[in-house]
Amino acid sequence: MHPLLPSLAAACLYAGAATYQGLRLTQRSTPDKRLLALLGVLALCFHGGSLFLQLHDVHGLTLDFFNAASLIAYAVIALTLLACLRIPVENLLLLFPLGGLTVLAAEFLPSGTIRPIDEHPGILAHILLSILAYGMLTIAVFQSILLLLQDYQLKHKHPSGLIKNFPPLQTMESLLFGFLWAGWLLLSLSLLSGALFLDDLLAQHLAHKTILSSFAWVVFAVLLWGRHRLGWRGHKAIRWTLAGFCLLMLAYFGSKLVREFILHI
C-alpha cells in the first residue's frame, strides 16, 4: 500500500480539527472536547499508518529529516491527547496543524541522503526515548508560549477568546514544569541509552548531536533546579525553556539537515 492515501486522510482530519477549534475559539466558546479527541485519534490512526509505510525499508528504518519531523509531531499530538484525559491541556491541541504539515512534508518533499538505521532493540529503545523526550519538551515549549500570551493579555486587560478558555495562570505554570520534568527525565534516559547502545557518541556524524543535546540537558537541569531552589517562574522560566529547546532542535534537526542535504552523508 502506498502512504499517499493515509497521509492525505491524516492531513484532512488535522485540518478539520484545527478549523473547528479555531472557529469555536473565535466565537469565544469552548470546543467540544470529545469531538476534538475523536478527530485527533482518527488523524493519528491515518498518520501512524502513513509513518509505518514510510519508515520501513528492507535495510532498516529510513528516518530521514521529514520522516523524523512527522514522527515527532505524531508523538507530540499523541502525548497531548493522552494528557487531556487527566489535565486541562485542550488548548495545546492547537498543535494539530503541525501534524498536518509534517505528514504532508514527509509524503511530498524530497528526502536527503540517509543511511537505514539498524533495528537493534537497544538502538530502537534509544530512538523511542529520544522521540518521546523531544515530543514532551515540544509540548512544554508550546505551553510556555501560551503562558507568555496569557500573562501578556491579562496584564494589558485584553483577554481573547483563546485566553478565556485557559486554566488559571498558576495552573498553566504548574503544567509547564510538569512537562519539563517529564521531558528532562526522558532526555536523561535517551542520553544514557545512547551511551549504552551506540558505538561511539562522539563519532563525526554524532558529535554535534551529542554535544548540543548534552548542553540542552544542562539548561533544563538548571531551570528545574532554579524552580525548586530559587522559585524561578514567569519570563525567566520561559526564556530558559526556549533556550534549551533551541539547543535540542539544533542537535537533532540541525545536524540532520546538514548531513542529509549539505554533506550528503
pLDDT digits (tens, 9 = 90+) for 54-86: 887 766 677 888 888 999 999 999 999 999 888
Where the chain has pLDDT below 70, the residues are: 1, 58-60, 112-114, 116, 118-119, 157-164, 199-206, 259-265
DSSP category for residue 168? P
The pLDDT assigned to 261 comes to 66
State how far the Cα of 249 lies from the Cα of 226, in Å rounded to an integer.
23
* 22, burial (CB in 10 Å: exposed 0-12, middle 13-18, buried 19+): middle
The pLDDT assigned to 163 comes to 65
State the DSSP H helix or E strand holding residue 195, giving kind and residue range, or none if neither: helix 169-197
State the DSSP H helix or E strand holding residue 56, giving kind and residue range, or none if neither: strand 56-57
pTM flag (> 0.85): yes
Three cell numbers, residue 160: 481573547
The pLDDT assigned to 59 comes to 66
SS3 content of the chain, % helix, strand, coil (to 5): 80, 0, 20
Give me the half-sphere count of Cα atoms (radius 13 Å) on the Cβ side of residue 69: 20
Distance of CA 216 to the CA centre of its chain: 15
The pLDDT assigned to 252 comes to 82
